[in-house]
Amino acid sequence: MPERTPILAANWKMNKTIEETERFLADFLPKVPESGPEVVICPPFLSLKTAVEHSAQSRARVAAQNMHEEAEGAFTGEVSAPMLLEVGVDGVILGHSERRQYFGESDEALARKVPAALRAGLEPILCVGENESQRDSDETEGVLTRQIEADLSEVPDDRLGEVVIAYEPIWAIGTGRVATPDQAQEAIAFVRALVADRDREQAERARILYGGSVKPDNAAELLALPDVDGALVGGASLEVDDFVAIVEAARP
Ligand code: PEP
């Protein structure tokens, strides 16, 4: 079975100016362990270049929070893969529930964006997950099946393992209500099985993260789960000490 290096990704959402990004990284980067999990900082677009420059001598990598699937064109307000690559970004979050909920991000668009990111050489971090009423009515597996089948439909089987997937139950995002270890393990094992339906070997390679109110005091338990290969962290990634503690919790 392939070793899967855990990923701790910081989703800053619409937080931190360029100056605040510089201040955070000046404090945070010296505290990143020299070995162990991969660390990915996902700041707003305007801070990407600064984040890349500051983390160049460190183990931290930088990813964007969204991307358009076309390389260029009449798409006002959008940013493309070549633009991200030019500033040294090497990954991109796609399909975050806030983009699905507030900006109409659809599975049809994600079916184009995920392979476009891969073709461009960006590591996609694809977010999937159910809302509270879907969980309450036992629809979690149906929602995950629909999202994974649609969003990965145009990814060739032999590249499925390059897509990082973040299972993020919407009811746990920014709410302080974290999934129980059983809920996280069960959903993530289910996502892995969906990928295995396409290609078993690629499913063993794929890193699948948990996201939703990960904090220093619950990280170790979640990160120790057999199918959990790291975390996508929102609120707690905005504070240096909290994010360092979460990164430390992922070390073997
Ligand atoms: C997120 O934004 O992806 C997230 C998981 O946020 P939080 O950790 O704040 O719940």
3 confidence band (pLDDT: 50, 70, 90): confident
Q: Is the pLDDT of residue 21 over 70?
A: yes
For ligand 1, whether the C-beta of 214 sits within 6 Å is yes
- Quick one: which of 195, 193, 120 has its CA closest to 151? 195
Q: Is the pLDDT of residue 2 over 90?
A: no
For ligand 1, whether the C-beta of 211 sits within 6 Å is yes
Q: Which atom of ligand 1 is nearest to the CA of 13?
A: 2
> Ligand 1 test: best mutation among 213, 237, 239, most atoms within 8 Å of CB?
213
Q: According to the model, what pLDDT value does residue 195 have?
A: 98
Q: Is the pLDDT of residue 252 over 80?
A: no
Residues 158-166, mean pLDDT to the nearest whole number: 98
Asked whether the beta carbons of 48 and 64 are under 8 A apart, the reply is yes
Residues 199-216, mean pLDDT to the nearest whole number: 98
- Higher pLDDT, residue 123 or 2: 123
At 59, give phi and psi (nearest 5°). -85, -5
1 confidence band (pLDDT: 50, 70, 90): low
Residue with the nearest Cα to atom 2 of ligand 1?
Answer: 234
Q: According to the model, what pLDDT value does residue 130 have?
A: 98
For ligand 1, whether the C-beta of 129 sits within 6 Å is no
Q: 3-class SS at 23?
A: helix
What percent of the chain has a predicted confidence (pLDDT) above 70? 99
Q: According to the model, what pLDDT value does residue 251 have?
A: 79
19 is annotated as an active-site residue: no
What percent of the chain has a predicted confidence (pLDDT) above 90? 96
Q: According to the model, what pLDDT value does residue 66 have?
A: 98
Q: According to the model, what pLDDT value does residue 17 have?
A: 98
Residue with the nearest Cα to atom 4 of ligand 1?
Answer: 234
* Average of per-residue pLDDT values in the chain: 97
CA–CA distances in Å: residue 70 to residues 47, 74, 79, 96, 208: 22, 10, 9, 19, 26
In DSSP terms, which residues pair with 208 in a beta bridge? 165
CB atoms within 10 A of CB 92: 24
Q: Which atom of ligand 1 is nearest to the CA of 96?
A: 3
Q: 3-class SS at 30?
A: helix
> Tens of pLDDT along 35-93?
899 999 999 999 999 999 999 999 999 999 999 999 999 999 999 999 999 999 999 99
Residues 136-165, mean pLDDT to the nearest whole number: 98
For ligand 1, whether the C-beta of 237 sits within 6 Å is no
Which of the following is catalytic: 54, 68, 96, 105? 96
168 is annotated as an active-site residue: yes
The rounded Å distance from CA 136 to ligand 1 centre is 20
4 confidence band (pLDDT: 50, 70, 90): very high
Q: Is the pLDDT of residue 120 over 70?
A: yes
The rounded Å distance from CA 234 to ligand 1 centre is 3
Residue with the nearest Cα to atom 6 of ligand 1?
Answer: 234
